[in-house]
Structure 1
Amino acid sequence: MFAWKVGPALAVGNSVIVKPAEQTSMSAYRMAQLAYQAGIPEAALLVVTGHGEDTGQPLGLHSDVDVVSFTGSTEVGRKFLEYSARSNLKEIVLECGGKSPQVVFADLHDIDAVVDDMLNSAFWNMGENCSCGSRLIVEHSIKDQLLEKLVEGLKGWKVGDPTDPQTHIGPMVEQAHFEKVRGFIESAKRVFTKSSSSG
């Protein structure tokens, strides 16, 4: 995400200030180090860290900032629109969280390839990305076959230490997110158990 936002902005001659999420500041710092080693002037690429109220809000309100590109929650995205209105009407580019559907019809050509794509979309980066394919919309006639293949395919996704090259799914970014995801899983289990017992 750092690269696809910062790279094009620098390439066309802009200076960039990056404010990473509090949970991922070290990776942003390392990307900046690599950029400096590659010859990007330090004055053209700055990384500021901290909580949103302390660093993100002042950037959003600063009249010398012409554009803000924000990836994150819809709630905070709305705040950046407000900051723009209260300052210099800077351009705001928002990429806010969503529930991206994966739609599968019965006339698919290669179910194994579709399953691989679905698993990658849903679980890449522990599913912690705004384009995560987190909902399945499947034609009823292939539902059972597809679910069976998804369950089988998921067995190949090793959970474990993120420094192990064999690991596909590492830890969640923070305890609060872990609890949120676990809550979704428990809720889904309750719904599944209820529908199975009544059907």
Structure 2
Amino acid sequence: MAARRKKRPLRPRTPSRVKKRTTKRRGVKARRLAPHQHPELIGLVLAALGVFLASLLYLGWEGGLVGEKLENGLRDLIGSAAHAAPIGLVAIGGLMLFRSALIDVKPFRVGLAVTLVGLLTTLGSRNGGFAGDALGGALAALLGGTGSFLVGLTALLAGALLLTGASAGALLRHSGHQLRR
């Protein structure tokens, strides 16, 4: 029996003697970043933003139009927690910059988000800005002031455990051993 020929999709063919042209622009080289460089660059930007915010919030330096809008927007958004933002940004940026290969970023992001929600809920509508008013105010309407504070405190502790990678049981056992001494 004769061998069956494989059907090929119909497409125009160019002879092998014709050079194939590429669609590259002359003089422009497309260079992609290596995968390990992305967290380092993000960390560098976060650290620089934290230093800039620290100079505005702590030292009262002139930040220009952008600095003024950034400072006012941050204070309106998160209220008194704005003073913790530069420290957090520099810490996160430094960790990403110097230890980017050693850090698993996903639990760190979740821990940071839970800590921020807990802080804004604890500060509430008085000192938490728009976000604190939305989170703390809504919980205060549902659970009262005490319930809202307890939910915020629990979220702060859970976020701290997620950020540090510590175990609450291990911390309690260790502190119990120290108290017995």
State TM-score, norm by structure 2: 0.24
The structure with more helix, counted as a fraction of residues: 2
Question: Of the two structures, which has the highest relative contact order with CA contacts closer than 8 Å and spacing of 6 or more?
Answer: 2
